[in-house]
Structure 1
Amino acid sequence: MANRLTSATSPYLLQHADNPVDWREWGEEAFAEARERDLPVLVSVGYAACHWCHVMAHESFEDAATAAQMNENFVCVKVDREERPDVDSVYMTATQALTGQGGWPMTVFTTPDGKPFYCGTYFPPRPAQGLPAFRQVLAAVTDAWRTRREELESASSRIVEGISARLDLGAPTPLSAEVLDAAVAALAGSYDERSGGFGGAPKFPPSMLLEFLLRAHARNGDAEALRMARGTLEAMARGGIYDQLAGGFARYAVDAHWVVPHFEKMLYDNALLLRVVLHLWRTTGEEWAGRIADETAEFLVRDLGTPEGGFASALDADTEGVEGLTYVWTPAQLVEVLGEDDGAWAAAVFAVTEHGTFEHGTSTLQLLRDPDDAERFASVRERLAAARARRPQPARDDKVVTAWNGLAIAALAEHGVLTGTEASVAAARRAAELIASVHWVDGRLRRASRDGVAGAPAGVLEDYGDLAEGLLALHQATGEGRWLQLSGALLDVVAEQFVDSADDPPTWHDTAADAEALVHRPFDPTDGPTPAGIAAAAGAAVTYAALAGSPRHREQAAAAVGSLAKLVAQAPRAAGWAAAVGEALLAGPLEIAVSGPAGPERDALATTARAATSPGAVVVAGEPDAPGLPLLAGRPLVDGRPAAYVCRGFVCSAPVTEETALRAALGPS
């Protein structure tokens, strides 16, 4: 029997369309029904690739008796956190405030006006590990609603008041070199010398921090910053969190040494990690970093590309309900595919043991040392990948999320121009065209689409910031003015809808001024697995200012990151992208216009310019005064030859026509 989710566009909601629970989508209709029936609302939040979401669904939401209890006593609402990050943010804040922790699945009980009064995450079908059974929770909440209603409503009002209080960010101050250097030193205090990364298990890819560290190194030659970034990326690339056969990073490692991943692969992780490992390769030239960048780009296009040209959100953690089934190996399985000699050799190369590193004697694949025979290694990888492709495969969440596609566009555009991989630039352009034609509706962004059809949820601040970032990278890669124009339109909406400029200092929000009103208007200045919305918008504004010659956007960006200076100083692990944007502001950023007709001379200058590691540097190559390319305006040839114009903070040095002279001009800022 199908419920009311059958018409949903979210793959996660569709996973629950056949539950006996009478789920509704988030919306006024559900809360109106709750008011009419005088029942609390049960809000269940998760996402399609979430392992424990699947577990709770199987144990409880597919159970007829549990469903009957839910349907009788609650109005039940299912939310895809990736489609509605605003709803997720509000109730995750409440869950963390009430329980001291958060995660998904998230289970929240609210009044008919949406105010939360009891929160939790996963609940088992029977009491276990200190957790009550889910049906016990349902019964207790139902009894409290009937007998202590006034107490619950009073508590819900206090909870909303508590979660509505904004984090005290202090008075805005510029992100100075001293603050950023202190942040690097603070990160060194929590750096894992053995395995890279920061802190212990579980260990998540610190993508934004790594970009900040590379930019700090580029500014002042800080060897410690480079060592931490390089050590972390190489440890991840050699670990089980990286797919040693087909490329791409898993969401996180459950251990401190990157051995056992949570096997879901997210678009946002891989987009961010592609970009930062590409920047590491640009800095050091190390072969392994270039290989990981190439393989991750190939993974994005091959495994997450959608028929419409966008990028799907994720590959599931589970295969046929079993986590890791597609990916893990035993020594015997290696021999079965490769034969005795190659099987034993592969077991040694990939650290596959009889005891195993995962469950039931299976192992994830690691590459703890470089193989001694590159040709043999390539053959082994190819045969194992082919055999693995014949196994059951994880499901794919194929909704196209605006923000994460923006991150992918940026990463692929940069990969294309830095490595000469035209297919990466083409993939970035296809995604941008999809977003521009489907997600940009009446001058505003929609959060997501599926099968080329935009969903109803509105874009949030990260959608505008991350998409603008991607379009600006594509503008530089292609020399197409339309991407600069659209990014400017996106940043105009940011200024109009997400910033209260009348406040002193201006107040930022993660949802638009005219967005659906929730019990409070969310704003989170800290990075999660993706950059904080305010930092993403600021980073895009810095780049736009450099490309379009717009002091207004630079001032807005400086004010935004200045408001995060206290966070960078006190908790740099939560503000990596803000710190990275601060580095770009300190560096100028560098603006490099390569002016001249297409051909080897211009290409050589452009390649040299793009090798610059100066934080936030922008590069545009094209014909002098080409339409849609402000950076080339008034930049003529020099003595009939292509020329490079290097500017910093809207102040330019004399143009150069030789690569050696350009390299000198691109020296330390």
Structure 2
Amino acid sequence: MSNQLAGSLSPYLLQHAHNPVDWHPWGAAALAKARTEQKPIFLSIGYSACHWCHVMERESFENPTVAGVLNAHFVSIKVDREERPDLDDLYMDAVQTLTGRGGWPMSVWLTPELEPFYAGTYFPPESRGGMPGFVPLLTRIAEVWREDRAGVVGQARALAAELQRQAAVEPGDGLPDAPVVDAALQQLRQGFDARWGGFGPAPKFPQQLAVELILARGSVEDRAMALRTLDAMWEGGMYDHLGGGFARYSVDGQWLVPHFEKMLYDNAQLACAYLTAFQATGEPRYAQVAGETLDYLLRDLRDPSGGFHSSEDADSEGEEGKFYVFTPAEVREALGEVDGARFCTAFGITEQGNFEHGRSVVHRFSCPPRARLAEEDDRALREQLRLWRDRRVRPGKDDKVLAAWNGLALSAMARGYQVLGDPRYLDAAQACAGFLRRELWRDGRLLRVWRQGQAHTPGFLEDSAAVVDGLVDLYEAGFDPAWLSWAEALAEGLLARFEDSAEGGFFSTEADQADLIFRQKPGFDNAVPGGNTLAARALLRLSRHLQREEFRLAAEGALRCFGPWMQRAPRAFLGLLGVLDLALREPVEVAISGDPGSPAVRALLAEVHCRHLPGRVLSVSEDQLLPLREDRAASEEGPFAFVCRGRTCARPVTSPVELAALLA
């Protein structure tokens, strides 16, 4: 028997469609039911790849006793946090305020007016390990609602007011200056794990924003921190050495045992971080990791329509990590006795194991130097074992396509083509942009979610901003001005719908959204950069291509708005500080006159793409479509390259050697 989630598109909601709980999707009908019946709302927020969400479903939401209490006393609503990040952000703040911590599954109790009064994360059905049991907790909340509703409502109103106070942003007077970036670098130095890399203790999350900021602005010593972190993540088990791509985080300080779910947003950003490291160092291993990560996205997360799916689960066959771990016997079965033994030594697969049930997480760092495989053997055996692994039951996949995360993937594919030169990545970037415009761009507005041919949910700030940023990267890869034109239209809509023109910065939602108790202005950078980071970066970069002053001023308005917060807690704003660094430095502008597909132009572009030039602006055109290209046409002598820093331009050059000298 199904509940109200049976008609949903979200894979996460569909996972709960046959629970005995009378679940409702978030929407007008469910909210009206709570108001009409004057019942509190039990709001459960999670996502498809969440391991503990699956655990709570099995233990509680499939439990008839739990369902009976929920159905009798509450209006139960399920939300996919990836479809509604605004609800997730708002009520996660409530969870953290009430409990001091957060996570998923998120469990929040609301009044019919949507104000939270109690919250937590995972609850077992009965009390254990110091955690309150879900059944007695539900019973007690229902009792208090019945006997002291006025007190509960008053508490909820006070909490909602406190959340709004905490979310308020007092804008700064001017643009922050360079010392705030230096303060963030100092905090990263203090938190750096010199042995294992990363910034802080376990659990360790990928720190792509930290790596990008360090490589752009840090000293030689700082750069060593970033590179050690990239190396340690690649050498550990968080990287999928067979299939490419990274898991969500490492549960230990060595990057050995991952939480096995694989997210599109992590892998898109990490591919970019490794591409940046390759540009900065020339070390082939960074190009290898970036390429294998992009190949993972193409092989395992790409929809036939051109977009990219959201994630792969941690679990398969009811066990976390089962798809990814091995015993020596399994490796020998796949590779043969001799090669299997060599592989086990090189990748840390032992009889005792390093994970559950005597299995091993594949990793590199425990390999003795003498046992390392030659490059050709390494690649061939990893691929052979991957193909053998693919016969296993794969983890579940969340195949919905999200605009913001696809904007990140669009950037990754476009930059992958620029740096690695593989035309597959340009083809994928163009197909992704075409998909977004065809399927999610409706009547001048961007939608957020697409699945199985259906699009829904008005886009949020992060959606428009990430897609604009990705389109700038796509233009700088293929130089089709149509992508900049669409980016301009998206940016104009972003300003009209999300900008706080009075105090600067951007709200995450449009002004007319009726199902929120207040609008938030997201500043902090998390696993996905904050909406203001994405918007400021995209608008600043686009302004330098199109000479649109209002775009630059809006970007700087966001930096001014969060200036005081950045000064108080710089490490919480690493992405926004990266945008500040771009705003403060004089951009390197490279304009090439000629046919983007000609060998001579490609040779000039190779000199640009092989270098780490933070904030550089790149254009190629045969005509005068772009303001940056004004009065810079090709001649019969061949393509010219113009290099400008700030308001100073060097004489035009025609050869890669001359261009290299200007960029060095």
Normalising to structure 2: TM-score of the pair?
0.96
Q: State the distance in 1 between where 2:129 and 2:4 align.
A: 34
* Equivalent position of 1:111 in the other structure: 111
- Aligned partner of 2:443 in structure 1 is 442
Partner of 1:309: 306
The residue that corresponds to 2:284 in the other structure is 287
Output one character per residue of 1:180-211: Cα deviation in whole Å (capped at 9) or x when no partner: 22321221111111111110111110111111
**Residues 31/650 of structure 1: CA separation in 2 closer, same or farther (3 Å cut):** farther
Hey, what's the Cα distance between the residues in 1 that align with 2:290 and 2:465? 24
Q: Does 1:607 align with 2:606?
A: yes
Q: Does 2:523 correspond to 1:522?
A: no
Query: How far did 1:654 drift?
Result: 2.6
268-277 or 374-383, which deviates more = 374-383
Hey, what's the Cα distance between the residues in 2 that align with 1:494 and 1:648? 29
Larger RCO: Structure 1 or Structure 2 (Cα < 8 Å, ≥ 6 residues apart)? 1
SS in 2 for 1:446: strand
Distance 1:189-1:621 versus aligned 2 partners, 3 A rule? same
Once structures 1 and 2 are overlaid, which stretch shifts more, 641-650 or 396-405? 641-650
Q: Quote the Cα distance in structure 2 between the aligned partners of 1:539 and 1:136.
A: 48
- 1:88-103 mapped onto 2 (5 Å cutoff): 88-103=88-103
How far apart in 2 are the matches of 1:575 and 1:216?
Answer: 15
> 1:546–1:618: 8 Å Cα contact kept in structure 2?
yes
Provide the C-alpha distance between the structure 2 equivalents of 1:293 and 1:548, rounded to a whole number of angstroms.
Answer: 30
C-alpha distance 139-107 of structure 1, shift in aligned 2 (>3 A): same
Structure 2 equivalent of residue 394 of structure 1: 395
> Which deviates more, 631-640 or 280-289?
631-640
- Conserved in 2, the CA contact under 8 Å of 1:331 and 1:352? yes
Aligned to 1:633: 630
Spell out the pairing of 1:169-180 with structure 2 (5 A cutoff).
171-180=172-181
**Is the partner of 2:356 in helix, strand or coil?**
coil
Map 1:108-257 onto structure 2 (within 5 A): 108-165=108-165, 166=167, 168=169, 171-217=172-218, 222-257=219-254
State the distance in 1 between where 2:296 and 2:174 align: 41
Matches within 5 A, 1:264-663: 264-368=261-365, 369=367, 371-455=372-456, 457-501=457-501, 503=502, 505-597=503-595, 598-625=597-624, 627=625, 629-637=626-634, 640-649=637-646, 652-663=649-660
| 1:343 CA drift (Å) | 2.2
Q: Secondary structure at the match of 2:473?
A: helix
Q: Could you report, residue by residue, the CA deviation over 1:262-299 in whole angstroms, capped at 9, with x for unpaired residues?
A: 00000000000001100100111111101001100100
Task: For 2:190, give the aligned amino acid.
Answer: G
The Cα shift of 1:167 comes to: 5.1
**CA, structure 1 residues 433+547, in 2 after alignment: closer, same or farther (shift >3 Å)?**
same
In 1, distance between residues paired with 2:236 and 2:576?
28
State the Cα deviation string for residues 289-345 of structure 1 (Å, max 9, x = none). 010011001001111001211000000011022100000012222223223322222
TM-score in terms of structure 1 length: 0.96
CA contact (8 A) 1:337 1:343 kept: yes
* Letter matched to residue 338 of structure 1: L
Give the CA deviation at 1:507: 4.9
- Secondary structure of residue in 2 paired with 1:77: strand
User: How far apart in 2 are the matches of 1:328 and 1:400?
Assistant: 28
Change (3 A) 1:62 1:560: same
- Retained in 2: the 8 A contact 1:253–1:262? yes
Q: Cα 1:61–1:40, aligned 2, differ >3 Å: closer, same or farther?
A: same
CA contact (8 A) 1:197 1:206 kept: yes
In the alignment, residue 145 of structure 1 is paired with which amino acid? W
Output the CA distance in 2 between the equivalents of 1:618 and 1:423.
23
SS at match of 2:358: coil
Aligned mates of 1:534, 1:169 — CA distance in 2? 15
Gaps of 5+ in 1: none
**Aligned with 1:416: secondary structure?**
helix
Residue 564 of structure 1 deviates from its aligned partner by 2.8
Cα offset for 1:35? 1.5
Computed over aligned residues only, the root mean square deviation of the Cα atoms, in angstroms, reads 1.6
Read off the aligned partner of 1:561 and give its amino acid letter: L
Report SS of the residue matched to 1:500.
coil
- State the shift of 1:565 in Å: 3.1
**CA–CA separation in structure 2 for the residues paired with 1:661 and 1:549:** 27
Matched, 1:51 2:47: no
The answer (yes or no) to whether the contact 2:505–2:557 under 8 Å persists in 1 is no
1:179 deviation in Å? 2.5
CA deviation after TM superposition for structure 1 residue 52, in Å:
0.3
Contact 1:497 1:514 in 2 (8 A): no
Whether the 8 Å contact between 2:169 and 2:562 is mirrored in structure 1 is: no
CA contact (8 A) 2:592 2:640 kept: yes
| Alpha-carbon offset, residue 6 of structure 1 | 1.3
Single out whichever of 375-384 and 120-129 deviates more from structure 2: 375-384
The answer to which of 426-435 and 77-86 deviates more is: 426-435
CA distance in 1, matches of 2:119, 2:468: 35
Residue 164 of structure 1 deviates from its aligned partner by 0.7
How far is 1:72 from its partner?
1.1
Q: Is the 8 A contact 1:458 1:515 kept in 2?
A: no
Structure 2: unaligned runs, 5 residues or longer: none
> What is the percent sequence identity of the aligned residues?
42
Check whether the contact 2:404–2:465 (CA below 8 A) recurs between aligned residues.
yes
Letter in 2 for 1:351: G
Secondary structure of 1:603 counterpart: helix
- 1:67 is matched with 67
CA distance in 1, matches of 2:438, 2:168: 37
Give the counterpart letter for 2:54 in structure 1: H
Letter in 1 for 2:319: V
Give the match's secondary structure for 2:644. Answer: strand
Kept in 2: contact 1:547–1:591 (CA 8 A): no
Which letter maps to 2:199? F
1:584-618 deviation line (CA, Å, top 9, x unaligned): 22233222111113422211111112233221112
Q: Which amino acid aligns with 2:34?
A: A
**Alpha-carbon distance change, 566 to 228 in structure 1, aligned in 2, over 3 angstroms:** farther
Question: SS of the residue aligned with 2:357?
Answer: coil
Moved more, 191-200 or 588-597: 588-597
CA contact (8 A) 2:406 2:432 kept: yes
SS in 2 for 1:272: helix
- Tell me, yes or no, if the aligned pair for 1:610 and 1:619 is still in contact at 8 Å: no
CA distance in 1, matches of 2:173, 2:452: 43
Tell me the alpha carbon deviations over residues 540-565 of structure 1, each in whole angstroms, 9 at most, x when there is no partner: 01110111122322222122123333
- In the alignment, is the contact (CA less than 8 A) between 2:183 and 2:570 conserved in 1? no
Q: Secondary structure of the equivalent of 2:641?
A: strand
Could you tell me which amino acid in structure 2 is paired with residue 656 of structure 1? V
Moved more, 427-436 or 401-410: 427-436
Q: What is the deviation of 1:650?
A: 5.6
Measure how far apart 1:170 and its partner are.
Answer: 5.5
In the comparison of the two structures, how many residue pairs are matched?
A: 658
**1:472-527 C-alpha deviation (Å, 9 max, x unpaired):** 111111111121111112221221121221x2x32531111223340121222101
